[in-house]
Amino acid sequence: MTSGSSRDVVIAGGGPGGLLLGYLLARAGVEVTVLESRPDFDRDFRGDSLHPYTLELCARLGLADGLLALDHFKAASFRFHTPKATFSVADYDRLDTPHNYVALMPQVRFLEHLADRAAELPSFSLEMGAKVTGLVTDTSGATTGVRHRGGELTASLVVGSDGRFSTLRRLAGLPARSLGATTDILWFRLPRMPHDPPDADLDLYYGHESYVGVLGGVRDWQVGYSLAKGSYSRLRDGGVGPIRDFVRDHVPWLADRVHLLTDFNQTTLLSVDISRVDTWYRPGLLLIGDAAHVISPVGGNGILMAVQDAVTAANHLVPAFRRGTPGPEDLAAIQHDRLPSITKVQDQQVRIERRSAEARARGRGAAPPSFLRWFFAIPAVRTRNARDNAYGPCPPRLDEAVLTPIPAAD
């Protein structure tokens, strides 16, 4: 797109929230351009979980068949393994939905599928390698467009969906407030074998000071080793041997291949963050997803929250464009609708972080109290937990009006 072009909406960031919002707006007839800073989507994401809410939404949009034809792993349960017991805490296969599982799929495949389907819509465009470098504002300070590598775009609305290190958030002067994270996660992959446990889906294996999360995949396992925030340098100085030993001791069915982890270059450090912007908007600009609120990996619901932000934003923006141009009151309504859910999720994550930090400080170990296995032995509890995680608090329903194109002007 050439310099000086104008669109109804420009979205910075081609992640799940940005691409889905672009698709929904374009499907309603809104002219939208998504700017993705990288040249392609082919990178190693750590958010690979598509919850039942997301799958049901894709089914309603006619996107599910093509999406689920791609390689994915169906996780039916979420389990804890402690030194004293193994128990399920959430059984997704007990949910009353055709999509009663969490689909573990490389995020790159999900993004490519969204982008391909959006490209079929005449009012949608996607520019790769188009990093935003500045905001365009009018004399009142309202955002009226963006500058990016390759040109400048004017727009009625600019949406920042560019992740936890959001350039749009920085340019707009909307700082994120840290809510407190005490843990980091070191991720690596180990190959999947035919003899692996068939019920290993989304499992946490607890040791004295750390835990390992194991996420199933079609060809491999994602393994996340927890460490106290700020301790990575010390861990790295000791080499990968202690990590291999932990996995060998606590996840014995991976012991026959953990020797394949030989170097820290095979790992990726995720610095866990829980933070939120107090005000997600200003005239002409809106933040969604991690740009507005960073979610920790606990519960694997980062994609879910971004998707629900996109649904809520579309529910408000499409009617606003039918009236004319979205105003600050429309943007405020989006934050108003989403903030209770985000606050509830983040507050729960902060409580978990604090309990983990207190347990480490007191030398009590990372495992949850053993009495919880009796609580989670109740099937209704596991079903409720699965439902809470599958849909999140107060899940928004996509308005039918979003699926009806805006009538063309005479």
- Would you call 98 exposed, middle or buried from its count of C-beta atoms within 10 A (0-12, 13-18, 19+)? exposed
Give pLDDT tens digits for 27-36.
999 999 999 9
Q: Residue 85: pLDDT band by 50, 70, 90 thresholds? A: confident
Q: What is the pTM (predicted TM-score) of this model?
A: 0.93
Helix or strand (DSSP H, E) at 249: helix 241-250
- Token pair of 92 as six digits: 């997704």
Residue recorded with tokens 């074998």 = 193
Give pLDDT tens digits for 119-130.
999 999 999 999
pLDDT of residue 217: 86
- Would you call 43 exposed, middle or buried from its count of C-beta atoms within 10 A (0-12, 13-18, 19+)? exposed
Side-chain-facing half-sphere of 115: CA atoms under 13 Å: 20
User: Mean pLDDT over residues 148-162, rounded?
Assistant: 94
Most confident of 42-56, 260-274, 275-289: 275-289
Residue 363 — φ and ψ, nearest 5°? 70, 25
- Would you call 137 exposed, middle or buried from its count of C-beta atoms within 10 A (0-12, 13-18, 19+)? middle
Helix or strand (DSSP H, E) at 299: none
User: Is the pLDDT confidence value at 271 over 90?
Assistant: no
pLDDT of residue 363: 60
- 59 or 106, higher pLDDT: 59
Q: Residue 2: pLDDT band by 50, 70, 90 thresholds? A: very low
Helix (H, G, I), strand (E, B) or coil at 17: helix
Domain residue extents for the chain: 5-179+273-401, 183-228+230-270
Residue 138 φ/ψ region, left for φ over 0, alpha for ψ in the -120 to 50 degree band, beta for the rest: beta
Residue 106 φ/ψ region, left for φ over 0, alpha for ψ in the -120 to 50 degree band, beta for the rest: beta
pLDDT of residue 362: 65
CA-only gyration radius of the chain, Å: 22
User: Is the pLDDT confidence value at 1 over 70?
Assistant: no
User: Is the pLDDT confidence value at 45 over 60?
Assistant: no
- 271 or 389, higher pLDDT: 389
Give pLDDT tens digits for 359-410.
666 665 566 777 788 899 999 999 999 999 999 999 999 999 898 776 555 4
User: Mean pLDDT over residues 319-326, rounded?
Assistant: 95
User: Mean pLDDT over residues 244-265, rounded?
Assistant: 96
Helix (H, G, I), strand (E, B) or coil at 238: coil
pLDDT of residue 410: 45
Q: How far is CA 144 from CA 41, 124, 167, 181, 335, in A?
A: 27, 19, 16, 35, 20
Percent of residues, the chain, with pLDDT higher than 90: 77
User: Is the pLDDT confidence value at 264 over 90?
Assistant: yes
User: Is the pLDDT confidence value at 266 over 60?
Assistant: yes
Helix (H, G, I), strand (E, B) or coil at 148: strand
Helix or strand (DSSP H, E) at 133: strand 132-137
pLDDT of residue 3: 52
User: Mean pLDDT over residues 246-266, rounded?
Assistant: 96
User: Mean pLDDT over residues 166-171, rounded?
Assistant: 97
Identify whether the C-beta of residue 227 lies closer than 8 Å to the C-beta of residue 214: no
- Token pair of 49 as six digits: 């979980």
pLDDT of residue 19: 98
pLDDT of residue 260: 98
The rounded distance, in Å, linking the Cα atoms of 15 and 40 is: 11
Give pLDDT tens digits for 88-117.
999 999 999 999 999 999 899 999 999 999
User: Is the pLDDT confidence value at 43 over 80?
Assistant: no
> CB atoms < 10 A from the CB of 268, how many?
15
> CB atoms < 10 A from the CB of 167, how many?
21
Identify whether the C-beta of residue 387 lies closer than 8 Å to the C-beta of residue 95: yes
The domain 183-228+230-270 having CATH identifier 3.20.20.150: the answer here is no
Query: What angle in degrees, to the nearest 10, is found between the helix axes of 16-27 and 107-118?
Result: 20
Q: Give Dmax (Cα) for the chain.
A: 72
CATH number of 5-179+273-401: 3.50.50.60
Helix or strand (DSSP H, E) at 184: strand 183-191
Give pLDDT tens digits for 281-306.
999 999 999 999 999 887 788 999 99
The rounded distance, in Å, linking the Cα atoms of 122 and 200 is: 43
Residue 395 is given by DSSP the state P
The rounded distance, in Å, linking the Cα atoms of 169 and 176 is: 8
The rounded distance, in Å, linking the Cα atoms of 61 and 384 is: 27
